[in-house]
Amino acid sequence: MGDDSSKSIVKSLKKEWALLFEVFHQDENTEADKNSNGTRSESSLEGSGIEMMSREAVRQLTKKLTEDRKKLNQQLEFLTKELEVSSAKLECLFLVGADATSTLKRIEELNDLGLNLTESLAKIEHKLGEARSKELDFRDADI
């Protein structure tokens, strides 16, 4: 009975991660569409300080945010691989009848860490979208 519940936990975590990545990528595409169509409102930039930045400062911010996003994506990839390894280990532990509580605990920790990383990544994506919108405003002002 314990084997089935633990396997279902692993399966549900895998499904949650898949859905989370899918939603995140859809949000990323929607954000790109907004930027390309120019429908982003200036009110979204208020309070972020970006509207007061110079062109070079916005360019530097964009570069930094892009680097941060790359690092977070790498961490998420590593986390996903570790989650897969832990899931395989959990299945092996169940097959031999060993205690799997520490592995289950680690999987839960990885899941929590992944959610935190994903939230951070979403915030960076939002700021990056604002910065890119401001860069477009600078370009439009030059035309």
Could you tell me the residue ranges of all domains in the chain? 2-12+52-142
Q: What is the pLDDT of residue 137?
A: 85
pTM: 0.61
- In tens, the pLDDT along 48-85 reads 577 777 888 888 999 999 999 999 999 999 999 999 99
Assign 98 to helix, strand or coil.
coil
Q: Tell me, which fold does domain 2-12+52-142 have in CATH?
A: Helix Hairpins (1.10.287)
Q: At what angle do helices 2-37 and 55-96 cross, to 10 degrees?
A: 160
Q: What is the pLDDT of residue 88?
A: 92
pLDDT average, residue stretch 118-123? 93
- In tens, the pLDDT along 4-31 reads 666 666 666 666 666 666 655 555 555 4
